[in-house]
Structure 1
Amino acid sequence: MTKLFKIRRLLSSVLHKYNYSTAAKSMPTVKINSTEFISDDYTNVTPKIISYLGRNLHLQNDNPLSIVRQRIVQYFYKSFTHRGKPTFSVYDNLSPIVSTKQNFDDLLIPVDHPSRAKSDCYYINKDMLLRAHMTAHQSELLRSGLNNFLMIGDVYRRDEIDSTHFPVFHQLDVVRSQRKEQLFPNHPDLDIFEPTFDKERPHLFTNTITDPTKQSCHTLEATKLMEAQLKNHLIGLVQVLFGDDIKYRWVDAYFPFTHPSWELEIYYENNWLEVLGCGIVRNEILANAGPNNTIAYAFGLGLERLAMALYKIPDIRLMWSQDSGFLTQFQNKELNAKITYKPVSVYPQCTNDISFWLPENITIDTFMSNDFYDLVRDIGGDIIEQVKLKDKFIHPKTKKHSLCFSIVYRHLERTLTQAEVNKIHKDIENAIVSAFNVVIR
């Protein structure tokens, strides 16, 4: 190799590295937990939402979410054992940053499903997002060889703002799978799969869900036995949580990743309250994850919904409170103790309205309310108790579209003055003018 050629190759290498690093530095990024992610037109995660990562309320002993988590885990540990050891393993510290493949594709969620929309999810970029459900980890745990496991953690969804909705909440998901000999220990003549299903080449079989009672690959006996086990286990769970006398009912449901599917509702404070969704795992998910010799059920529930019902907590924001008056009510208590939350004090609300004309290319039907809610929460933080759409208006002459929202401000730990609320409200007005090109009325 000539000296000149060596110099040229070295210079080319240096220029390539320089150009690459310069290009990378010039691209906008999002920093999450010391990791830089390239952002794009899908990016909608906000600094406020990122600030919630790592709080892990479900692992903080004095938090009601942790108490509910421990009670459910304890129920599964006691209900399922093998040779004196728990059958289920627990995963409660999985990273909330997942790929779109994990969150959607692995779970057979169609590309046009509304749950993929930017208005519903917090995207880091088009390939990565903050998980919208704990089920996002199901396939990776199945691929690792696990059969029975619980997944617990924080999940992120864009939503309205009121006392029962928050952009971060906590889910507990469970998967239980069984082989033929486990499901039918005394009936070797029975099988999980229909005779037409080739267990050695499952991908050659087109599994359908047109039959409301079962997937086409499964025998009716296997599906019905799994359904009976699933429902008995979940009835036992809600009885442990709410008492043996709790009234319940099953409602047929649809989820892309299970079939058949159901929701369990309990009769609570004179209303039917949905507490979880469940079903028989789609066989395609199991086949893609590894050996296709099992049938599985799965369910998922929200810890906040259960905690608020069990302990009479009126506002979901209280789960994030650091106030000792809140936390001490749950300290050093027996797991199954009956606890009724008592307000430390009641601070008054402050309500301000905000009205604005939309740009000509946006209508009241195409305006993305969740974008507006995120911006309000970014500026107002956790003192935003509720945002309600108060009025829609189309000017009869100009045909301009207008929206009016009421923003309810309330601090959980002190009284807000109207002056400080007015300042925050003005900051919100300025921000939406800049972000959405609206005109304040």
Structure 2
Amino acid sequence: MSNNELVLPQEEFEIIKALISTQAVSVDDLSAKLGIDANSLMRSIAELESMGLLKIDKKIRRYIELTDEGKKYLELGLPEVRLARVLLSCNCKPSINDIPNIAKGLNINISITEVNYAVSALTRLGMVRVARGIIEIVNGDKLVEVSNRQAILDAVRNPIAEDEISQEHRSIIQEFMRRGIVKVRERSIIILSATDKAQDLFMRGLIKSSTVITALTPELIRSGTWRNMVIKRFDLSIPPPQAPIITKHFFAEFLRFVKEVFVSLGFEEAYGPHVELEFWNFDALFQAQDHPAREIHDTYFLKYPSSGKILDNELMNRVSQTHENGWITGSRGWGYKWDPNRAVRLVLRTQTTSVSVRTLYKRGDGEYRVFTIDRVFRPEVLDPKHSMEFHQADGIVVGENLSFKHLLGILEALARGMGLRKVMFKPAYFPFTSPSAEGYAYHEKLGWIEFVGSGIFRPEVVMPLGIKRSRVLAFGMGLDRIAMVLMNIEDIRDLFSKDLSSIKNYWLNFSRFINNISKS
């Protein structure tokens, strides 16, 4: 063998041979060409680079891929496609609330929340119009555009590079992204090319292949065949792959941090059940039994069991009278016949305020500050800003001579403690507080995001619970949205991401946030 010859293992030789015939190629394309798994190639690629035979370049490429919701719509059809099928099949002008039942009769599955999104989409396309809750087709020819949306979704069944999407389809893909049907995933693409050295040696026939062995056996030594083989060298300069660092989840740590902020301001923590009576979730908060928020499209109802019980009949009577005629609160009430059977129906709680009213009933008058942090549940459509399950912090401050200024002061102190540097408040309406205010925090990309609703509990709330002398300042915060603001997260679903690289990045954001808080 000539001193100038370079003998390579067969796999490394095939890599150089493939690169000589092309200008540059990605690892994935090279893997497909050679029929070798890309991960298996990486060791050979690293060795060839260390020998100066191969050059590696990296670039980031964005790919569009389906979310879990997108995969569901790929199977069932987009909500607007299903709604169009229902309207064309029934040849009717139904009300929005009747559509799920009509669709069921046509073997089409569509929920009321999906109907609302679909109506909005078909209205924008000019296919339907809505008047007084009645939907009517005004342009059936638009069905082609509706079907085209489903075809575009089908086109991203497998991830597709963002720069390969046609210009005419980009606006629809952008809408799908806003709705959480597709998402962007960045991939690091490794591009390989042969160096001038490799080109020169290969063209002169000085690069050859041979069998690779990793150990000298007695058989190889006795036969002398080891002389015609390449003994695999161990290159200790090549770093081994790093195992992921095990750490606590960034969102769990954020919730713990928020609890510490509350405790530092003199609050104590309270707890309550996820499965709640309508009484504590709605009635005790002076929310009328015919309020839209208590309908099935805004609340999860339990089937088995479907109801519970209230043991304090006097409490039930006070709340009943407050709803019907105002009792002794100075209010006229809602003026309807209150139904005790509805009050004991079981729901997944829609707000942690139910814990606050339970606490008021248990502790009564006095001076105390109580908070709770836990999950609540609402039938929302999953998108970058909304989820059907999210975390809420609820707080009450009880005492005599408290005012609305005290409430805003407490909220500002909480905001500062949680690192919200830019907040504002504006008047609002809630059924159980007066006066009321909403608080907003600023996100660099999402703009102003509502993060707290607040107010002073009305007499119709506190008096039936046994509060006679004290005022109660109350507020509820959407902690998922606050986390998005503080950790620069654009999609609420990323709070529960399983992607290790995303979790690592958000943990770094959380760590920087904590460090900045410590320095300020």
Normalising TM by the smaller chain, what interval? 0.3 to 0.5
TM-score normalised over the length of structure 2: 0.40
Structure with the greater alpha carbon radius of gyration: 2
